[in-house]
Chains A and B, each alone.
Chain A
Amino acid sequence: MAEQSTPWAIRTEGLTKRYGDVLALDHLDLHVAPGSVFGFLGRNGAGKTTTMRLLAGLAHPTEGRAWIMGAEATDGDTDARRLFGYLPQNPAFYKWMTPIELLDYVGRAYGLAEDLRRRRIQEMLALVGLEEAAKRRIGGFSGGMMQRLGIAQALIHEPSVLLLDEPTSALDPAGRYEVLAMLAELRGRVTVFFSSHIIADVDRICDTIGVLHRGRLLQVTPREELLAQYAVNAVALTLDKGATAAGAELAALLSEQPWVADAAWDAHTLRVTVHDVAVAQRELLPLLAGQGVALQRLEWVRPSLEEIFLEMSA
């Protein structure tokens, strides 16, 4: 069913998938804003690929529905498939085809006119760096080349939404860098729904992060908000070489302050946990300056996305 009006690029409502006794996806209610790069994080078996396959119409939900750009994707509506491009986790193509033939086939399936199709084929081959291999049989391609070709076929019809299931898993570091840069460039124009268990990739390009664990959506938050939410009230002070002798003394002094919860010295770094970040931000530097301590570095401690993810999915 087409929604009357929607601000969401992707919306799911109670989306559930059960394989026998196994609950692969448990009432997923998800809203992805248009133009965002959405990172869908989860351990292996969390339900990321199931969600992707449900959105792409390849699997049937046990319960619930999903919409892409307002068109229902879970009822076998082939028109909804024009609105997204999909790259499966292990992309597979007809080995007897060349990349040009494959992109031509996909372009025809999307109903692209001949002129537009030819132009888009060339653009896509250039985008994914497969121009030189354009007339080679796909059967001889490496995993990385298949992944690039997969991205090209997913983008050929200029979709509004791009569903990418582990798009960087088969790429070498250089390939990963290029693909992530390419996806980041799509921000604002295309909604990228990007599943991965490689947290560094998600951290690098995603503006919104959803964490899926054992089929349940634990959280959907803008990346910065998530990091802030899990930020600990601690500051790490690296003292100048000449000031390290005063480290232990400084820790004791800080421990006496009412806004300090704990202060610990470990040879080079003083780690100070505070009760109130705002007060600490105001009081800490004047106090240190008053003691004549020379600082090399002061950093408010933020956990990495990896630490947050591990904590959430523990």
Chain B
Amino acid sequence: MIIIALTITVLILIALPVVAATCLRRRAWSSWLLFLVGVATFAGSQAVHIPLNNWLADIGLLPPAGSLEGPPLWRTALILGLTAGLCEELARAAGLALLRRRLPLQDALMLGLGHGGIEAMFVGGVALAGSMATLLALRAADWQTLGLPADVLAQITAQMANVEQPYSTLALATVERCIAMALHVTFSVMVWRAFERRNVGWLVLAIAYHTLADMVAVYAGQLLASRWLMELAFLAVALPGILWLWSQRHGLTGTTESRRRPTWRSQWPAVAASLRKELLQVVRTRHLLIAMALFLFVGISSPLLAYFTPLILSRIEEMKPFADLIPEPSAADAMVQYVKNLTQFLLPGVVLLGMGAVAAEKERGTAAMALSKPVPRWGFVLTKMAAQALLLTAGTLAAALCAYLYTLVLFEPLPLGPFALVNLLLWAWLLVYAAATLLGSTLGKSAGGAAGIAVGLCGALLLASYIPRVGPLAPGGLVAWASAIGPGLKGVAPLIEGVPFTNAAALGIAPVLVVLMLVGAVGALEAQEI
């Protein structure tokens, strides 16, 4: 039940910024690319902010990361607030300056939603998922006997309080991210106003307000015992900004000109027609057949390879002296082989099947035909992703079923829970690559160019696994988790150096990456000429 609540909360936190941006676009049109500019300003600000805070900690102006011990609290709160305000607001200003054109209010709001939205997705969604999942796993294990250092044990003990009250923790995290996102939108509008009125005072005000909000957050975390009171204090500091933001709503272009915007009801038939066409296309162009053949091959061959490989090796003359060293194959081996095969065979399949999705339609002229109808461009992209997702879901289910049955016949029944988790992780991994391929296909002007971009994006995602600290969060982290489940089948949970191994953060990042890549694809297609 806790896992379901956690999953729902993470999905809400990931979806919230996108839903808010969609509602904004219904009211006053703004490009999704502005959302991505907001994402970039957040990423850019953190690239400076985190090293800056680490340096300030090194020279003693701030306490070490994760602690507030040492310097006076007022100074810590002020410096933390000021570095956040300076880094984030200057990054926002740089983003607006680089756009080099006069933007309407809705674009500033969109940028703010991107900036605050990605923070909600990462801090609220992914970090929450990661920490909660780890704590839940630790709760299941006897963590007092793991031989962890005393300070780590103390931190875990403190955080376990959150696990004991999971629903209020999740609700508060959602409320906090909503307030933070509203604040980010407010800051963005203030910085935008500095450009609009050519008055740097608005930028200074945004930095000051950001500093104040973060100071209150630090103080509240230290001085208030109740987490509800902490959020109330945070809301109190955010409220003036939110009210000011609300007072600006009349500045939205479109409100004054009563610009007509299509409604969901008017767009739905075209989107449904587009989805129906995509599904029909998957069947008629034999994509379904090819994909199912690949998935079934993986599902059937994995237990067979696990079962027969040791037998084959033991029959080889040169290997006979080592026959006793070859371990007896097991269901766990079948699962490990399944993870290996699926990742090796299906990744090229996903790229090959998806790389022409948009680019080939643009090249052949069918996109022009479809998009001169009431099919919205977002619908054109999202229905393609939906068809890909359904294809991958059907394929994963088919592969899983085959793998389960063959393992049952050759070895023993696989435990359903861990095996389902393995499949969920691999399905999420495939979805990320499907979204990357779709983004590449949208960015490319021709099918050939799109293939190059898609392969480049997928390569970058694969290589991201090797980046220190960030690597485990990359899609490869999902495969690492899935690979770790197999060997741990006979135990309670997969164990790495005595600590239960989970990578819920990578699972949380996967939908974030999918969402961002789809936002990019829709934004790019909307900006393109067909």
Contacts and interface: CB of A to CB of B under 8 A. Distances in A.
A96 B375 contact: no
A91 interface: yes
B267 A58 contact: no
Nearest to A106: B373
A106 B375 CA distance: 10
Interface size, B (range): 35 or more
B155 interface: no
Given A59-B530, A109-B274, A93 B262 contact: no
Contacts of B372: 56-58, 81, 86, 88
Interface in B385-399: none
B429 interface: no
A76 B267 CA distance: 12
B272 A77 contact: no
Contact of B365 (A86, A88, A153): A88
A82 interface: yes
Given A1-B258, A71-B260, A92 B274 contact: no
Contacts of B368: 53, 56, 58, 88, 92
A109 B366 contact: no
For B274, B365, B372, B376, the residue with the greatest tally of chain A CB atoms inside 10 Å of its CB is B372
Main secondary structure of the interface of B (DSSP, over half): helix
Contact of B374 (A60, A92, A97, A109): A109
Interface stretch (B277-285, B292-300, B400-408, B497-505): B277-285
Interface string A83-103: 000101011111011000100
Contacts of A81: 372-374
For A78, A79, A106, A110, the residue with the greatest tally of chain B CB atoms inside 10 Å of its CB is A78
Nearest to B267: A78
Contacts of B262: 77-79
A141 interface: no
Nearest to B285: A96
B374 A111 contact: yes
Contacts of A71: 260
A27 B443 CA distance: 30
Contact of B257 (A1, A78, A79, A91): A1
A105 B281 CA distance: 12
B210 to A, nearest CB: 34
Contacts of B270: 78, 108-111
Nearest to B364: A92
20 contacts: A1-B259, A2-B260, A58-B529, A59-B529, A71-B260, A76-B377, A77-B260, A77-B262, A78-B266, A79-B262, A88-B365, A94-B281, A97-B284, A101-B280, A105-B273, A109-B269, A109-B370, A109-B373, A109-B375, A110-B374
Contacts of B374: 78-79, 81-82, 109-111
Shortest beta-carbon contacts, A-B, top 4:
A92-B365, A108-B273, A111-B269, A109-B373
A262 interface: no
A75 interface: yes
Interface string A53-76: 100111110000000000110011
B501 to A, nearest CB: 46
Given A1-B258, A90-B365, A96-B284, 18 more contacts: A53-B529, A58-B529, A58-B530, A71-B260, A72-B260, A75-B259, A78-B267, A79-B266, A92-B364, A92-B368, A92-B369, A94-B366, A105-B273, A108-B273, A109-B273, A109-B374, A111-B270, A111-B374
Given A57-B372, A60-B529, A86-B372, A92 B366 contact: yes
Contacts of B272: 108
A93 B371 CA distance: 12
B526 interface: yes
Contacts of B369: 88, 91-93, 153
Interface size, A (range): 20 to 34
Contact of B375 (A2, A53, A78): A78
B369 to A, nearest CB: 6
Interface in A1-32: 1-2
A59 B526 CA distance: 10
Interface string B343-385: 0000000000000000000001110111111111100000000
B276 A93 contact: no
B29 interface: yes
B366 A1 contact: no
Contacts of B277: 94, 105
Nearest to A17: B529
Contacts of A96: 281, 284-285
Given A58-B372, A77-B262, A79-B260, A105 B529 contact: no
Contacts of A75: 29, 259
A220 B526 CA distance: 33
Given A79-B260, A79-B262, A110 B529 contact: no
Interface in A108-137: 108-111
A60 B371 CA distance: 13
Contacts of A56: 368, 372
Interface string B28-43: 0100000000000000
